[in-house]
Chains A and B, each alone.
Chain A
């Protein structure tokens, strides 16, 4: 029983999905895509009504019948009001900006009520994790915020979105499923810190140094390496603080290359994380950078578009596919 419930839910989900097809980013809720079932308290109420009916039948108690039938009728009417509360609403999905693995994808559902009657108590999200319900005046609209936890990089299909209401009595729940066609992008998780991530690869840093440390632009001070050129020692700083430091320069005009091969011994995911961190830092500093992966090469550039293109490349990168390609 415990195991069959999720299985049943998945089966239902497949059926709903097949029945409805995929949705664009904006849809109108038609009657035929709204489902309605009693809630737990609704089932309990059904039991109470049935007991009343039996009691009234047994005692031939007409006031009992009157109460039982009046409450039954109100319940039946409430089913209709519950479903009507969703019918005709317009939903638009917004947001879903890419995030780094481990962060939450945030998405908002904008609900618009084009009808002439107000709508009440509308929530989004699965049962047990509903957004606080909103009331919509006639011609009103509201935004419901949802979020999705991520664990791994890559693209993932946008999960179905459930919009529901228990108006008016909470005895029934009407809901509709949205199956947005869009895909969600999850960038690799950036490595915590570049320097901390690389201490063991001193030999590679020599090589990387050529790439990483150009000689164009002063970026800061660092601990000098043995045999450091005297031209690079920060004499003024030595005079001031008594500590020996070297000036660090990087190539300024956008000629940095972030190269997969430089980070050779690390695993694929670790290397992608490092590259992500490099891109993040470079973007924050406003430097131009290029990305070189097996089978892919993005020439150095700047700007949001380039930034996202690089991160997307990293997110979907697969070593096997690259080698085959």
Chain B
């Protein structure tokens, strides 16, 4: 019944004549799709498992074979099986299918399998849409300056592929025509895109919790430290942040960038003290600026590390982020984890000690009795020998300096009493070993002490006015409570003074230097690398750090005193509207039919004649109109009669000769209306 009704519905209207050709994908269309897939999958292949690249490769080969050699394409059942199987494999490998890595893997597999099902225009377009989403996923992992060419290539290849995909397989455009059209469309689109980028209201925080995948594989400091943690960071030349000083920067050895402060120690692992375990609940007013210590102001551009530490220069005086606060342990913390590149300005006094009116936490005195007994005994012995706390601490440092202690990136493994093992057996370690041992020795002698982690030093970019601080600059040092001050002691500096003066690469034996992908290993390569980093820093500063604050500043310049989200939305809508109107006007201006010069001249003549008696009625024949005018103004008979005759001849006797049309135009221009007095 329904079928019959449906059938009659279809009978009502016109139909295309003939039988439509079966839909297929031509080679030209396919080539663009493959190019697009190559572009968008390239950034993923480095991080994804090998078998995903293999699937994409096999799918591409198979599809090409189907196009050129008429290989059979996989049927529905095979495709369904492959889809299900790949989804299961991804779930098995990643233990989830929603994270960023797993999501990218799934998208790439979908892309490969959809490629094997490209018959109609819709299939082809769908491949382009999936490919663009894959490109988007790539930006979630990496958005340095190097991803700009990727964006350009992805958008251009995708646009051409979509243009070709939407066409009939027998009517694909030539590559040149398609590229020209794409260039035109993109040229039209860029102003609009720019307006949206600048003015579309951004939000200060995430809409929902970030999937864990976003932080996978990231290196950086953490709120706990056990032997080997910072050593692993030292292998990474990734930038942690960049910093620009106003005026002369401090000496390199004064550059201590303060990160998490670890106050609790169980004999093996240092941890930050949870807020619940504290007596003091909030930061105190800052210490007065010591008269002799200089104050530095600087701007820090942080790479996202998904933690709250802002890493100020020790010791911070002020900062321009309203929501940031100083923790009881004097860590400068932002209100929420730093999930994007963000910049902040601060002022610090570069001094190794600061006063604190509060007594140290109990935790900074605790020594685990069960572990490291030999260290505790050594501390008691040395403290008894020294006259004061300060003298004792000095003697510990000189012990590190004078005895056979080594600074190395490859410390031997430690046993159940890690500090004992380090002090008495292995005697070689990285900064965390020395900091840990020093703090323990201080505590065992009854002096409150804690471990501070962060970064030390940095590398000035010779081509630009900033310093790069890398993960390999990660450092751990100690703070000891002496005479009502927290005093910085850096035992690593006692063992390897070059570490603080010149950086880790200088402090370590040459063999390690080549393993580290640090810059500066060859002068030429170094310059290129620094230049690239300088460009990237500009990119980060001006493009990637663009967010709600910069939008507010932009609107501020336009005259909005305290722009709300609504103001922003209004400005955005207005700008987009104006751009669209302009664009419509510009493109429609030259779009209509070519004006006919003959017709233009005739209309011009009619307009002038209209003043004599009356306008020409629509549809009134030229001869009739001329007759009416001549009846009213007999002296017009000769000029008007010949003009009308010429017009009719040109209009209706074949295609008019160009010279004749120009003559008509000249005659119309020369035609003079009779003087006003002569008018009846």
Interface residues of A (CB under 8 A from B): 2, 6, 40-41, 44-45, 48, 51-52, 54-74, 76-78, 80-81, 84, 87-88, 104, 106-107, 114-117, 121, 123-126, 129-133, 135, 145-149, 151, 159-162, 166-171
Contacts and interface: CB of A to CB of B under 8 A. Distances in A.
B18 A64 contact: no
A126 B12 CA distance: 10
B642 interface: no
Given A59-B210, A116-B594, A44 B155 contact: no
A167 B163 CA distance: 8
B89 to A, nearest CB: 24
Interface stretch (B191-199, B244-252, B406-414, B562-570): B191-199
B155 A67 contact: yes
Interface in B1-41: 2, 9, 11-18, 20-21
B176 interface: no
A151 B207 CA distance: 61
A74 B591 contact: no
Interface band, chain B: 35 or more
Nearest to A68: B136
B593 A77 contact: no
Contacts of A168: 163, 166, 181, 185
Interface stretch (B379-387, B429-437, B503-511, B541-549): B541-549
Contacts of B132: 48, 52, 67, 71
Given A61-B143, A66-B197, A76-B189, A132 B151 contact: no
Interface of B: 2, 9, 11-18, 20-21, 121-122, 125-126, 129, 132-133, 135-136, 139-140, 143, 147, 151, 154-155, 159, 162-163, 165-168, 171, 181, 185-186, 188-193, 196-197, 200, 202-203, 206-208, 210, 214, 339-340, 543-544, 546-547, 580, 583-584, 587-588, 590-594
Given A55-B140, A72-B193, A115-B591, A169 B166 contact: yes
B14 A125 contact: yes
A146 B593 contact: no
B120 to A, nearest CB: 10
A40 B544 CA distance: 34
Contact of A67 (B122, B125, B151): B151
A121 B166 CA distance: 9
Nearest to B159: A74
A41 B130 CA distance: 12
Max chain A CB contacts within 10 Å: which of B9, B125, B133, B210?
A: B125
A132 B20 contact: yes
Contacts of B159: 74
Nearest to A123: B16
Contacts of B166: 121, 166-171
Contacts of A104: 17
A169 B207 contact: no
Contacts of A125: 13-16
Contact of A146 (B16, B21, B168, B196): B16
A169 B167 CA distance: 8
Contacts of A84: 587-588, 591
- Shortest Cβ-Cβ A-B pairs, 10 listed: A170-B166, A73-B189, A114-B593, A63-B143, A73-B192, A63-B139, A73-B193, A69-B196, A145-B17, A146-B14
B253 to A, nearest CB: 36
A57 B143 contact: no
Choose among B16, B21, B188, B592 the residue with the greatest number of A CB atoms under 10 Å from its CB. B16
A74 B132 CA distance: 13
B272 to A, nearest CB: 26
A130 B18 CA distance: 10
A162 B16 CA distance: 11
Contacts of A129: 14-16
B125 A41 contact: yes
A126 B588 CA distance: 28
A77 B189 contact: yes
A205 to B, nearest CB: 38
Nearest to B205: A60
Contacts of B17: 104, 106, 131, 145-147
Given A64-B139, A66-B151, A115-B592, A107 B167 contact: no
B16 A124 contact: yes
A189 B581 CA distance: 57
A126 B186 CA distance: 31
Nearest to B152: A70
Nearest to A117: B591
Given A6-B9, A63-B143, A80 B584 contact: yes
A159 B590 contact: no
29 contacts: A6-B9, A41-B126, A55-B140, A57-B202, A58-B206, A60-B202, A60-B203, A60-B339, A61-B139, A61-B140, A62-B197, A63-B143, A63-B147, A66-B193, A67-B151, A69-B197, A71-B132, A73-B189, A74-B155, A77-B188, A78-B185, A84-B588, A121-B167, A125-B14, A126-B15, A129-B16, A131-B17, A160-B13, A170-B166
A147 B15 contact: yes
A157 to B, nearest CB: 11
A125 B592 CA distance: 25
A123 B135 CA distance: 33
Contact of A149 (B15, B135, B192, B206): B15
Given A61-B140, A115-B591, A72 B13 contact: no
Contacts of B129: 41, 44-45, 48
Nearest to B186: A74
Given A65-B200, A115-B591, A170-B165, A70 B20 contact: no
A192 B233 CA distance: 94
A2 B2 CA distance: 10
B14 A161 contact: yes
Given A87-B588, A166-B166, A170-B121, 13 more contacts: A58-B208, A60-B339, A62-B197, A67-B132, A67-B154, A70-B155, A73-B193, A76-B189, A121-B166, A125-B14, A131-B16, A161-B14, A170-B166
A107 B14 contact: yes
